[in-house]
Amino acid sequence: MGMVAARESGLKGTHFLDFGGWTAHEMHTVLALANELKQQRARHEATPYLQGKTLGMLFDKASTRTRVSFEVGMYELGGHALFLSDQATQVGRGESLADTARVLSRYVHGLMVRTHAHARVEQLARYATVPVINGLTDDHHPVQVLADFMTILEHKGRLRGLTLGYVGDGNNMAHSLLQAASIVGMDIRIAVPKGYEPRVDIVDQARRRAMALHSQVILTEDPSTAVEGADIVYTDVWASMGQEEESDKRIVDFKGFEVNAKMLKRAQSDAIFMHCLPAHRGEEVSEEVLEGAQSVVFDQAENRLHAQKALLVALMGDHQ
């Protein structure tokens, strides 16, 4: 069913920069295919859906999960992944992104980009003639949220009607969670300290989409409001890559925002705890919660592989 749905999804050849243009149907289509691929892997079945295809991976930021999951994913799909850092390409010597996109499009069947400014991914997508995938920017982290929603489905059996409480920085994770939750009819509450709010345009977009599905988008400065009765409690590091110099200030500003056992008790008794990793124990999350029975953080990490394989097939596959 997954491969048939992928063929009919209309995603082939498109870019995946964020969830702004996605529908609930596209989300569920890719997640169904991810589940199918996960089961096939568990049965040690070959999945050569991208036989002979190559993914170029441009990295400006350090990575563990993104690099390994995309490389392994392409290998398991019968294709090949190329790791390309700024230092290893002419981009590092001043070649424009527009020229880089047009050249690489002549060689590879898709590009995955992990960088700082979201505008860099948008520029690559503007000039590339192959699908461009956002592997993380300062504004969005959609491949992570794809894996997160796969994990939620596995543990909760549905997406619509659930409540996700996010506690932390209004960063790229908050943005992608807002977009994705509003697509599928999930209530989302974002708790951030004053001055760390998510982008207004992304919140407004999420609220418009949520209204059509009778779901809620709530912004608050009180973590208790976000997690009260929630089905999912989510957090992320307080200082993302490139913000390390703000770490001491953020530890002060985010006081009271640690997800600990006391805070988690405010959620549903069967709530799951989520974190995109890497985690700073004793800052945004306590050791007790991260290693506790409600934590599904390593399921999320594993599902990066399966969800991204499904995305690669949907965007780059021939669906034979």
Which residues carry out catalysis?
114, 141, 144, 236, 276, 304
277 is in an annotated binding site: yes
137 is in an annotated binding site: no
Q: Give which of 124, 118, 122 is closest to 140, Cα–Cα.
A: 118
65 is in an annotated binding site: yes
253 is in an annotated binding site: no
63 is in an annotated binding site: yes
236 is in an annotated binding site: yes
Q: What 8-state DSSP symbol labels residue 270?
A: T
Please report the DSSP string for 138-172 in residue order: SS--HHHHHHHHHHHHHHHS-STT-EEEEES--SH
Q: Give which of 210, 165, 214, 215 is closest to 192, Cα–Cα.
A: 165
7 is in an annotated binding site: no
Q: What 8-state DSSP symbol labels residue 16?
A: B
* Residue 57 near residue 82 (C-beta atoms within 8 A): yes
Report d(CA 174, CA 240) in Å as an integer.
12
Report d(CA 236, CA 238) in Å as an integer.
6
> What's the residue count for the chain?
320
276 is in an annotated binding site: yes
158 is in an annotated binding site: no
144 is in an annotated binding site: yes
- Count of Cβ atoms closer than 10 Å to residue 56 Cβ: 24
172 is in an annotated binding site: yes
Q: Give which of 231, 247, 127, 120 is closest to 186, Cα–Cα.
A: 231
Residues in the annotated binding site: 63-66, 90, 114, 141-144, 172, 236, 240-241, 276-277, 304
**Feature table: binding site for carbamoyl phosphate:** 63-66, 90, 114, 141-144, 276-277, 304
- For the annotated binding site for L-ornithine, the residues are 172, 236, 240-241
